[in-house]
Amino acid sequence: MKKALEQLKLQVDGEEADVVEEILFDDIDLKSIPDNLKKEIEKYKNLFYLSFNDCNLNNLDNLPNLKTLIRLELSGNKFKPTELSKVAMYKELKSLSLSKTQIQNFQDLEPLKALKNLVQLELEDCPIASKEDYRKQVFDRFPSLEILDDHDKDGNVVEVDDDDFLGEDDEDIGDEEDEEEEPEPEPCLLYTSPSPRDRQKSRMPSSA
């Protein structure tokens, strides 16, 4: 508990609570989330990214109530699949990492169907990942899902970052405005300028 609170203080670094967007507790041996830590995290009302990777969590009791959360990482923990019902409260969640957990079969994923905005899911190194038709079965269960274990439905590798989950709509609007304001080339020009939106990196579409 003490180490987790120290990590929290280090990451927020005196910032106002309403501007803190991510908090990570990776590799801290918690076993469970204490009441005091839950209350501290809930002070950050605009948090969009929370990570408890490799924290030896035996349960998901006391997950903080965060209405703005869109990315949650719980990989490498020991909780039973039945604990996933406690993740279903994050209605805006788009990205969920559950690699190296005890998820055994497709039935274990049923509580996650409540996550209607889920775009990315990680289940690598879970027993379920060795099941026949694993990828098809998972994509069929989650209509909004676009990325499973860093691959799209067609098996193509997809690279994502935080910007793919936060503020993308506003960013796209800004790009469109820049395009509209770009002056037309003079008729006498002998070359064509490349588009400022000619990016190689794929952008994940935001969910409605």
* pLDDT for position 66: 97
Quick one: pLDDT band at residue 1, thresholds 50, 70, 90? Answer: confident
This prediction's pTM: 0.79
Per-residue pLDDT tens over the stretch 8-29 = 999 998 899 999 999 999 999 9
The pLDDT of 119-133, averaged and rounded, is 97
- Percent of the chain scored above 90 by pLDDT? 74
Per-residue pLDDT tens over the stretch 138-187 = 999 999 999 999 999 999 999 877 666 654 443 443 344 444 445 555 54
What torsion do the CA atoms of 57, 80, 118, 87 make, to the nearest 10 degrees? Answer: -60
pLDDT above 50 for 121? yes
Residue 86 contacts residue 57 (beta carbons within 8 Å): no
Amino acid symbol at 41 = I
Rounded Cα–Cα distance for residues 36 and 1 (Å): 8
* pLDDT for position 166: 56
Q: Give the phi and the psi of residue 87 in degrees, each rounded to 5.
A: -85, -20
Distance between the two ends of the chain, CA-based, in angstroms?
A: 38
Can you say whether the dihedral through the CA atoms of 26, 107, 91, 166 is positive or negative? positive
